[in-house]
Amino acid sequence: MVSKVKLNDSNSTRVRASDLQKQLSSIFEAVGTPEDHAEIAAKVLVSASVRGVDTHGVANVVGYSQSVENGVYTTPQQMDIISESETTALMSGGNGIGLVSAYRAMEIAIEKAKKHGLGMISVRDGHHVGMVAYYAMMALEHDMIGMSMTTAAPAVRPALGAKKMLGTNPIGFAAPAGEERDFVLDMATSTVASGKVGLARRIGVPIPAGWAVTPEGEEITNPPEGENETWSLNPLGNTREQGSHKGYGLAVMVDILCGVLSGGGFSNQLARGENMTWVMAIDIAKFRDVDDFKAMMDDMIRELHATPTLPGEDRVLVAGDPEMDATDDRIANGVPVENGQYAAIRARAAEVGVEVII
Ligand SMILES: NC(=O)c1ccc[n+]([C@@H]2O[C@H](COP(=O)([O-])OP(=O)(O)OC[C@H]3O[C@@H](n4cnc5c(N)ncnc54)[C@H](O)[C@@H]3O)[C@@H](O)[C@H]2O)c1
């Protein structure tokens, strides 16, 4: 979707990724997060910003570290395995930092997949996990396919419905390629992640028709403030004719795997900031030769890239391309951090008593 809701040099400040990593880790540690968990939480947030997923990036350190400080997030978090088989586990996120529990769940899934071909973990007692594809992507370096999903408090109406009942319930899927870029699908099951509405509001641009509606079904283009009953995001597809029942169905599927299977609760039972999560790792080598798999991935991606475009379009992409383009730019030129959020991170660092290094 082409939209004006993005950062540029006038509304953001560029910072080196390595400096962001140090700054965020130090803030998490200063509020009592153990060093290894602080490193993980910072890594996931910096990765989102490097990949251009600014809504789920470094600025979240402010709110997350406040949640640690005021006890909404338990730290150190105890991530107990509640039940387990060779290929599955139900894990508690210990009501701690969601980024840390989802990361741990995927580590366990990968270990199980190494032994048994498959690992699948459902996580309850969890908080916001950020960019959900991060965890699916952890499988790539092990020559595995990764999948990750999370369910969240209501922001999206069901198809034909007038009230928020579902989270933006995103799906992450990552599969390794050989010479081509890996395939990484990272998508909310609504037309957009709700963070993009907030970003539009802060940088003062309208949102495109199709993102959000009033309970009367009127299109909203002036980005609304806060989560309330005056508006809801549309499920992917938006209208009956364009297949809103499919985005709706996917959102419920995510709710089942993350919320019902774990027992942590489906969207409509969750408080804002809670995320119940599900991850899976599949060992490709248990199916076929990994190099052959990757060579076929390359063929598929090249054929898709070679598709003739519609008039006015430059090129056909595959999922993950926009984020890899952003990564190439941001590693070379620094990561843009929205000006207000840049100031907020610096202020937060000073407030918790660590050196301001960005
Ligand atoms: N933790 C949570 O509660 C939560 C909830 C919702 C979303 N999120 C996160 O929000 C982020 C943004 O989600 P979104 O749905 O707005 O993403 P998006 O619409 O920007 O991108 C969705 C996917 O489409 C791909 N894509 C974009 N243009 C393409 C093209 N022309 N051809 C092929 N593929 C293309 C992208 O690579 C990406 O994989 C994600 O990181 C998601 O995980 C998190």
pLDDT tens per residue, range 189-219:
999 988 889 889 988 899 999 999 999 999 9
Q: What percent of the chain has pLDDT over 90?
A: 93
Residue 4 has pLDDT above 90, yes or no: no
Is the CB of residue 191 less than 8 Å from the CB of residue 211? yes
Give the separation between CA 54 and CA 155, rounded to whole angstroms.
19
Q: Quick one: average pLDDT of 325-339?
A: 96
Q: Quick one: average pLDDT of 5-24?
A: 92
Q: Quick one: average pLDDT of 49-56?
A: 95
Is the CB of residue 53 less than 8 Å from the CB of residue 335? no
Give the separation between CA 188 and CA 254, rounded to whole angstroms.
10
Q: Quick one: average pLDDT of 127-135?
A: 98
Q: Quick one: average pLDDT of 173-186?
A: 98
Give the separation between CA 291 and CA 138, rounded to whole angstroms.
19
pLDDT value of position 226? 83
Cα of 80 to ligand 1 centre, how many Å?
30
> Confidence band (pLDDT; 50, 70, 90) for 160?
very high
Q: CA of 91: how far to CAs of 56, 83, 242, in Å?
A: 24, 7, 37
Give the separation between CA 320 and CA 174, rounded to whole angstroms.
9
> Confidence band (pLDDT; 50, 70, 90) for 147?
very high
To test the pocket of ligand 1, the residue of 47, 183, 187 to mutate (highest count of ligand atoms within 8 Å of its CB) is 187
Residue where the block lists tokens 């408080």:
271
Q: Which amino acid is at 113?
A: A
Question: Which atom of ligand 1 is nearest to 188's Cα?
Answer: 15
Give the separation between CA 232 and CA 164, rounded to whole angstroms.
6
| pTM higher than 0.85 | yes
Q: Which amino acid is at 22?
A: K
Residue nearest to atom 34 of ligand 1 (CA): 319
Residue 187 has pLDDT above 60, yes or no: yes
Q: Which residues of 121-148 are buried (b: 16+ CB within 10 A; e: fewer)?
A: bbbbbbbbbbbbbbbbbbbbebebbbbb
Give the separation between CA 279 and CA 302, rounded to whole angstroms.
28
To test the pocket of ligand 1, the residue of 56, 97, 255, 310 to mutate (highest count of ligand atoms within 8 Å of its CB) is 56
| Least confident segment among 4-8, 113-117, 143-147, 255-259 | 4-8
Is the CB of residue 125 less than 8 Å from the CB of residue 92? yes
Which residues have any ligand 1 atom within 6 Å of their CB?
A: 53, 55-56, 128-133, 150, 152, 168, 170, 172, 184-188, 192-193, 196, 275, 317-320, 322-323
Q: Which helix (H) or strand (E) holds 117?
A: none
pLDDT value of position 1? 44
pLDDT value of position 202? 86
Residue nearest to atom 24 of ligand 1 (CA): 319
Among the listed residues 346, 344, 348, 167, the one whose alpha carbon sits nearest the alpha carbon of residue 257:
167
pLDDT value of position 3? 55
